[in-house]
Amino acid sequence: MFFIWGRGGNRVTAGEATHQTCSTCNDVTQFNTVIDYRFFHLWYLFSFLTSRQYAVVCERCGHGAYITKSEFKQTHHKEKIPIIRKWGWLISCLLMVFLVSYAIYSSKQEAALVNQYMTQPQVNDIYFADLAKIDSSGYNSEIHAYGTMKLVGFEDEYYLFAIANVAYDKKKGIPKTLSTIEYVENDDEIVALTEPEIIELKNSNIIYDIRR
């Protein structure tokens, strides 16, 4: 993972201060209250201020004098520093908490749905599994063979599965469009499993997902 980090700074105008004579411009000009701030960032979003200075400066040439924070607050209520720079760290933390919470919630919802499919099976349900670890699948070997099994019927206490005619060494190899997967549905190649066997395969993570 690459870490994109760095430091930066900017000047923002908080508002008008006064009209007065500028020693640099030798003229009466508008003076504004400004804030010079520095920040540290990680991935540009996670950022926090490392310093800030308040000043009253000439609008024309930028020269002026620094003031204290208490002097600044006497005439201005807001600093006008961009939220992403001032509170970026907090926004990032809240975003991370939300994403983690959502991931946990989604995982629980998906697990509940899979359990429902297991207890209330229907013909044409698609089971995702490491076919190499399932007896009679045709993929038995020492290497992984990730693929799908389609529930095609029931016979006594057995669930009958047709096995996909192609398997992959990684889970992500399985096509996302399940309708494109072809199955071997010859009677002599149907895999029969009992409910306890399916539960054991699920608990062993050999069967790892079910879609309907």
For the purposes of burial, counting CB atoms within 10 Å of the CB of 65, is it exposed (0-12), middle (13-18) or buried (19 or more)?
A: exposed
Q: Judge contact between 121 and 151, C-beta under 8 A.
A: yes
Please determine, for residue 1, whether its predicted confidence score (pLDDT) is greater than 80. no
- As a whole-number percent, the residues of the chain with pLDDT over 90 amount to 60
Average pLDDT in the chain: 90
Average pLDDT over every residue of 118-132: 95
Contact between residue 103 and residue 109 where contact means Cβ atoms under 8 Å apart: no
Judged by average pLDDT, the poorest of 87-101, 151-165, 196-210 is 87-101
The pLDDT of residue 116 is above 70: yes
pLDDT confidence bin for 147, thresholds 50/70/90 = very high
Which residue shows structure tokens 């926004």? 91
Q: Which residues contact 178 (CB under 8 A, 6 or more apart)?
A: 126, 148, 211
pLDDT at residue 4, rounded to an integer:
74
> What is the average per-residue pLDDT within 82-86?
84
Give the start-to-end residue ranges of the domains of the chain: 5-92, 111-211
Question: Which of 41-50, 65-74, 99-108, 117-126 has the lowest average pLDDT?
Answer: 41-50
Tell me what pLDDT residue 3 has: 62
More confident residue, 49 or 46: 49
Most confident of the ranges 13-17, 83-87, 125-129, 188-192: 125-129
| Cβ 139 vs Cβ 165: under 8 Å | no
Which H or E run includes 104? helix 88-119
Structure confidence at residue 191 (pLDDT): 94
- Averaged pLDDT, 134-152: 87
